[in-house]
Structure 1
Amino acid sequence: MKQLTRIFATAWLLLPLISAALIAPNIAKAQTSDTPQVHVEIIIFQSLAQRGWTEEYWPLTPGLVLSDNPVRLDETTTWATPVVLDDLQLAEVRSRMTTDRGYDVLAHFAWQQPAFNRNQAQPIIIDSQLQKRRHETSPIYGQVRAYQERFNHVEILVELDRRIPANLRERFAEHQGIELAWLPDSWTFVIDESRRVRPGELHYVDHPLFGVLIHVSRVSQPE
């Protein structure tokens, strides 16, 4: 499957991003005040356009196997500080992603962390704890990791287990070469992407059935 990856430049997203200057976060005690910090923000959404179901052949995929050391994004994570709703930088972008425009936002979350290198960085688990809606019909699961070498990088591995629309079941079964009686209630789709990101740029990882917006910015440290 060919995945389209590009900077998200669709007209409805050509908005001035919220200023990269942030209110200084409550940095984890384990980190020193002079450690460079980054703000990483993720939006995961599904497309409501039904043509994606039959534009390509979708093989059955095994369940995702996460890395050995993923962590949850909560108050117990010593190196990552969850960003509260009022400090999300892509709030206005998300507000434009409405169902009448064909987008259904499943998760929107962000955190601040030190600019670890690749060997130091740990992935964060993506599951129902971070998902805000459609838990029953479109659950997501996976992990995301941010690190910095010469450039900032974000790796995202996420699956969407999406219920097959009732009006598409017969066509989808025929397209997939499955007897209708054997077609399951849902089908799983996967995004597995590693992206080099420049601070302040909005990146879009595309898939016919769902997608991910990625935004990284530097956090100003107090004097």
Structure 2
Amino acid sequence: MDQSRCPSHRCIVVVLALLLGALATPGLAQNTYAVEVVIFRHWEAPDNDAEFWPHQPPPISRSATQRLVTLGPAASGADAPGFNRLPATKLQLAGIHQRLARSNDYRVLLHVGWRQPGLKPNNAAAVVLPLNWFPPAQLTAGAGASQNPFESLPQGTRLWGTLRLLQRRYLHFQVDLRYRRDGARAGDAATVYPMTQSRRMRVGEIHYLDHPVLGILVQVRQLN
């Protein structure tokens, strides 16, 4: 065996091993996604067929939260920083929104889209509703640590909570929302409907999250 050729041969093996290891390591290339959501109200069953709702709905789960940034059209491409709100021209569910709005059976509460990186559960932040509000900083352990940041919502808020896209082996979309019915007073907990769900997403497909009072349509599109 020609010993003079061994060092270079070992170098080739090391380089190939490093390349294969890089290809096999998940998470090195971070995907970027466009998330589009339509939230609407549909009318619940009356009287004896109505759903039972807890008098005190549970508080919104605590998680890292993210405010959407509104960028100009020139800065909203695939290389724009996340999280940022998509302009109306980039929304693809406008036709569905219009059909829901024309129907007497539904009331559209929110139609929004944003761009964000695909993040693992430990790093995935939740988009906060309402969009023009942000909860106060999470309290540290001690007196008052159990305070719910959503208790400081603006007067008259009807829909609030969090929307969260995270990436494990598959994409998952999580909602933790509260909706206050028409004519309800701010302190009347019995008229607040909770909606907490998690759904595995397929890129490009429109998914429907069902609820006795609320409906949510979600589409996740990969940008890179």
Do they superpose with TM above 0.5?
Answer: yes
Residue 71 of structure 1: aligned partner: 66
Go from structure 1 to structure 2 and tell me whether the alpha carbon gap of 1:109 and 1:53 turns closer, same or farther (over 3 Å shift).
farther
Name the stretch that deviates more: 105-114 or 71-80: 71-80
- Aligned residue for 1:60, secondary structure, equals coil
User: 1:164 Cα deviation (Å)?
Assistant: 5.5
Q: Which residue, out of 23, 31, 35, partners 1:36?
A: 31
Q: Using structure 1 for the length normalisation, give the TM-score.
A: 0.64
Residue 143 of structure 1: aligned partner: 162
Go from structure 1 to structure 2 and tell me whether the alpha carbon gap of 1:150 and 1:87 turns closer, same or farther (over 3 Å shift).
same
Contact 1:74-1:81 within 8 A present in 2 as well: yes
Say which structure is richer in helix: 2
User: 1:49 Cα deviation (Å)?
Assistant: 5.2
AA aligned opposite 2:92: Q
How far apart, CA to CA, are the structure 1 residues paired with 2:189 and 2:165? Answer: 34
Aligned: 1:154 with 2:173: yes
Q: Which residue, out of 207, 211, 214, partners 2:215?
A: 211
Matches within 5 A, 1:51-200: 51=46, 55-62=50-57, 64-75=59-70, 79-127=82-130, 129=132, 139-163=158-182, 184=188, 187-200=191-204
User: 1:61 Cα deviation (Å)?
Assistant: 2.5
How far apart, CA to CA, are the structure 2 residues paired with 1:120 and 1:69? Answer: 8
- Aligned residue for 1:200, secondary structure, equals coil
Q: 1:50-93, CA deviations, whole angstroms, 9 ceiling, x for partnerless residues?
A: 63895222221336234242121124995312101111111111
AA aligned opposite 1:200: G
Q: Flag the structure with more relative contact order, 1 or 2, with Cα contacts below 8 A and sequence separation at least 6.
A: 1
AA aligned opposite 2:100: M
User: 1:98 Cα deviation (Å)?
Assistant: 2.4
Identity %: 27
Residue 18 of structure 1: aligned partner: none
Go from structure 1 to structure 2 and tell me whether the alpha carbon gap of 1:123 and 1:72 turns closer, same or farther (over 3 Å shift).
same
Q: What count of residue pairs does the alignment treat as equivalent? A: 166
Go from structure 1 to structure 2 and tell me whether the alpha carbon gap of 1:107 and 1:136 turns closer, same or farther (over 3 Å shift).
farther
Matches within 5 A, 1:16-31: none
Q: Using structure 2 for the length normalisation, give the TM-score.
A: 0.64
Gaps in structure 1 of 5+ consecutive residues = 1-33, 166-183
AA aligned opposite 2:129: I
User: 1:187 Cα deviation (Å)?
Assistant: 0.5
Q: Which has the larger radius of gyration?
A: 2
How far apart, CA to CA, are the structure 2 residues paired with 1:65 and 1:94? Answer: 27
